[in-house]
Amino acid sequence: MANVASAQSEYPTGLETGGIAPDFEATDIHGKKIHLYELLKEKPVILFFFRGEYCTGCLKKSSELQDSIESAFLHTQSCYMIGISPESSENIKKYHKTHHYPIIADISHKIMDAYKTTYKLDEATKHVLDLYGTKVGNPNADGTYDMPMPATYLIGQDRHIKVVSFNKNENITSKIQYIKTILSAENSK
């Protein structure tokens, strides 16, 4: 059980509302270059972090979250959306076929680490979870089982984090309504 406590001590904290969002440059799964601060010159950005295909519950929850965010914001073009996962581009393409926004395969975990979403799952903890019926499945593209805490950040054009959704038990409907209110204020500036 010491390993479980060890893994839990590395539980991610997320970033705070009001702080400056860390900049990043990356390439999405289709080869398009993404530079956060360049996008913010045009409009706010919603970043959301999701786990891999091996976590069926996470996959379902992240799909619901992505669908909710996409239907609420993407069609209004009031912001950019970017998905981030530690999976390989091939897996992301396989399991997330109908996305209308860039998804970054954050194999090195640089973006996940910068946004403090990385949950470090060691082999012993994975084994315990497997014994209790939570099949973690295949490792990430880098061979680890590290995963992001499902998290969503709304970043304003001033580079400040306006909204953080970091609680898996949070009511996403009320959070999306709150994000809409903040985006409306951001877009009217």
Residue-wise pLDDT for 57-102, tens only, equals 555 666 666 677 777 766 667 888 898 988 888 877 776 666 678 8
Q: Which residues pair with 84 in a beta bridge?
A: 49, 104
Interatomic CA distance for residues 18 and 24, integer angstroms: 18
* Size (the chain), residues: 189
Looking at residue 89, its pLDDT comes to 84
Report the DSSP pairing between strands 25-27 and 118-119: unpaired
Cβ-based neighbours of 10, under 8 Å, separated by 6 or more: 119, 120
Structural domains in the chain, sorted by start: 2-187 (3.40.30.10)
Q: Tell me if 146 sits within 8 A of 86, measured CB to CB.
A: yes
Contacts of 178 (CB under 8 A, 6+ apart): 163
Per-residue pLDDT, 101: 83
Q: What pLDDT score does 161 carry? A: 96
Residue 170, beta-bridge partner list: none
Q: What tokens were used for 8?
A: 């839990």
The pLDDT of residue 160: 97
Please give the chain's pLDDT, 189 residues, in tens: 333 333 333 678 899 999 999 999 999 999 999 999 999 999 999 998 887 665 565 556 666 666 777 777 666 678 888 989 888 888 777 766 666 788 899 988 999 999 999 887 777 777 777 776 655 666 666 777 777 888 889 999 999 999 888 765 555 566 777 777 777 777 776
Using DSSP bridges, classify how beta strands 80-85 and 103-105 pair: parallel, antiparallel or unpaired.
Answer: parallel
pLDDT at 155: 95
Pairing of strands 161-165, 80-85: unpaired
- pLDDT for position 75: 64
Identify the CA nearest to 171 among candidates 64, 86, 99, 91: 64
58 neighbors 86 (Cβ within 8 angstroms):
no
The whole-number pLDDT of residue 181 equals 77
Taking alpha carbons only, the member of 107, 89, 114, 115 closest to residue 146 is 107
- In sequence order, what are the residues at sequence separation of 6 or more whose Cβ sits closer than 8 angstroms to the Cβ of residue 81? 45, 46, 48, 69, 70, 73, 74, 101, 102
Quick one: DSSP state of residue 70?
I
Distance CA 2, CA 103 (A): 35
